[in-house]
Structure 1
Amino acid sequence: MLPTDQLLSFFAEDVPFGDITTLALVEDKVVAARVEARSDMVLAGVEECVWLFEHFGVGATVHADDGEKISAGTKILSLAGSVHAILSLERTCLNLLGRMSGIATATAAAQMLVAAVNDHVKVAGTRKTAPGLRYFDKKAIRLGGGEPHRDSLSDAFLIKDTHRALLPVAEAVRRAKAYSVYHKVECEVENLIDAVAAAEAGADIIMFDNMTPSAVHGSIAALASRGFRERVVLEVSGGITAENVQKWAGVDVDVISMGSLTHSVKYADVSLEIE
């Protein structure tokens, strides 16, 4: 279900007292317009744009769907309705479409690089998003073929270095498992000793955080020798980008999480034209 209240708040933020330029310059009338791609991309945000346009009485015909890979020049939407509504909604819709498509495109590219080396490894996002945009960022990751990771702190346990500074790894895992049997327990580790301790305590997922590939290899070997490799999901994280993700795909992990997918977004180039 779309978070429609959020979508309306985005529009209200941009038009608190009306679009004064459009109101001053243009008499309201029915016009046709189009939204199109100016670069190659994986689309995300079409559903949100359609909802906004239609909510304000603008008819929207979809020519390319969310999750579809399109090339520059592709028409995404045809619009028909009040020119005041179309011009007032333009930037809100293009911002959403550009950001979400940028995330989906980067996710798809990273997943393709990983699959070329190791087809069972999944690319994932993180919670490094802007407040208010998490739903849209994580939806874009899904549309790009990635794993969104936790949506919030309530979804799963993730024992981080800040938790481990306060109590030992094994004790942290045991407390998390005692707190709830319905949530997965993931534990960040930075060395072999903590990885083994987390596995022995019953962690479901072990995240190798900011470790070198050789250190991760050694930790995985230690886990395998103790019979844990098939019992835990292994994730690697920390400083992973499109430039180095293939290096990590060669490590025997299950998930590669990339904060860069959402904290360093490159917008896809989209435009709206009055016809």
Structure 2
Amino acid sequence: MIADGQTERWLQEDLGHHDVTNDVPGTTIGRLVAKEPGVVAGLEAGRAVFEYLGVDILEAVPDGATIDAGDTVLQVEGAARAILRGERVAVNLVGHASGIATRTSRVVAVAREESAHVRIAATRKTTPGLRGLEKRAVVAGGGDTHRLDLSHMVMIKDNHIAEMGLEEAVAHFRDRISFATKIDVEVESVDDAVRAADAGADIVLLDNMSPATVREAVDTLEQADHGGLLTEASGGITLETVAEYAATGVDVISMGSLTHSAPSLDLSFRTGTGV
């Protein structure tokens, strides 16, 4: 659910101190229309913008729906002034989220051609203030949110290991977390992957490794049979290379590019009773 305070901040940023553009009388109908095919996301935010302005929602496709160019994504009715005020904010939010969902959907489709079980996950490389929108967009595209924030999982990275050592870091956090909290340890070699598993990691993150090295690490850990251990590959993985990583047998592939590099889906907003 989008809070009113968040919606107001989005609108106030665009309206400024005095709207000199949209003093238009009467009522009208507005349609948010796709200019290219993709996967829709962010409609909760788009709806919230118009509802906050007192505009009625006539039609909205669900998040995760596949659309073609020319399809109506959202249709609204109300005061022309209010619709025009909400137009750009809604277009920007839905376009941004739909771009993430579309990119995620493409990555998932490519990865699943190689592995039926691999999960495609986002990272914390999100836009401040828009993480919820972006993470939900990943889910709409068939991906996994990964951890939503620092409270959801311990991720032991190179800086933690530099400060405490690998085994010491795992022991340190294991003593301080709930039984329900998982520990994910980032490693950069096969030997350290084994060390992390032996130390009690729930997930071993194979960072910045080639597909061949990831496969070696996955095979080595499977032979050691740590029972329930998950493997995750991350670091510079793209749409062009994700199939190679999926073929290694890794359980999770996490990609910052799902959120920080996805282009917005091209959308247009049209008004008028004849739309």
TM-score band by shorter chain is over 0.9
Name 1:135's counterpart in structure 2.
Answer: 132
**CA separation in 2, counterparts of 1:77 and 1:221?**
48
Q: SS of 1:225's equivalent?
A: helix
Name 1:4's counterpart in structure 2.
Answer: 4
Letter aligned with residue 212 of structure 2: S
Matches within 5 A, 1:194-273: 194-228=192-226, 230-273=227-270
Letter aligned with residue 191 of structure 2: I
The 1:3–1:207 alpha-carbon spacing in structure 2 relative to 1, beyond 3 Å, is farther
Structure 1 residue 9 displacement after superposition: 0.7
Name 1:164's counterpart in structure 2.
Answer: 161
**CA separation in 2, counterparts of 1:128 and 1:175?**
26
Q: SS of 2:258's equivalent?
A: helix
Question: Any gaps of 5 or more consecutive residues in structure 2?
Answer: none
Q: SS of 1:243's equivalent?
A: coil
**CA separation in 1, counterparts of 2:209 and 2:150?**
24
**CA separation in 2, counterparts of 1:265 and 1:177?**
36
Whether 2:166 is the aligned partner of 1:178: answer: no
Deviates more, 1:194-203 or 1:218-227: 218-227
2:113 maps to which of 100, 111, 116: 116
Q: SS of 1:62's equivalent?
A: strand
Question: Any gaps of 5 or more consecutive residues in structure 1?
Answer: none
**CA separation in 1, counterparts of 2:58 and 2:79?**
15
**CA separation in 2, counterparts of 1:18 and 1:255?**
48
String of CA shifts for 1:121-145, please: whole Å, max 9, x gaps.
Answer: 0100000011101110001001111
Report if aligned partners of 2:126, 2:134 keep a CA contact under 8 Å in 1: yes
Name 1:41's counterpart in structure 2.
Answer: 38
**CA separation in 2, counterparts of 1:163 and 1:41?**
40
**CA separation in 1, counterparts of 2:10 and 2:115?**
40
Name 1:13's counterpart in structure 2.
Answer: 13
String of CA shifts for 1:66-93, please: whole Å, max 9, x gaps.
Answer: 1101111001122211111111111110
**CA separation in 2, counterparts of 1:266 and 1:111?**
17
Letter aligned with residue 157 of structure 2: K
Letter aligned with residue 59 of structure 2: V
Whether 2:40 is the aligned partner of 1:52: answer: no
Name 2:69's counterpart in structure 1.
Answer: 72
Instruction: Figure out how many residues of one structure are paired with residues of the other and give that number.
Output: 271
String of CA shifts for 1:156-210, please: whole Å, max 9, x gaps.
Answer: 1000111111122111111111111331000001011211111111110110000
Letter aligned with residue 221 of structure 1: D
**CA separation in 1, counterparts of 2:53 and 2:225?**
59
The TM-score normalised by the length of structure 1 is 0.95
Q: SS of 1:246's equivalent?
A: helix
Letter aligned with residue 33 of structure 2: E
The 1:221–1:77 alpha-carbon spacing in structure 2 relative to 1, beyond 3 Å, is closer
**CA separation in 2, counterparts of 1:257 and 1:222?**
21
Structure 1 residue 63 displacement after superposition: 4.1
Q: In percent, how many aligned pairs have the same letter?
A: 40
Name 2:189's counterpart in structure 1.
Answer: 191
Whether 2:28 is the aligned partner of 1:31: answer: yes
Q: SS of 1:2's equivalent?
A: coil
Structure 1 residue 16 displacement after superposition: 2.1
**CA separation in 2, counterparts of 1:171 and 1:221?**
25
Q: SS of 1:165's equivalent?
A: helix
For the aligned residue pairs, the C-alpha RMSD in angstroms reads 1.2
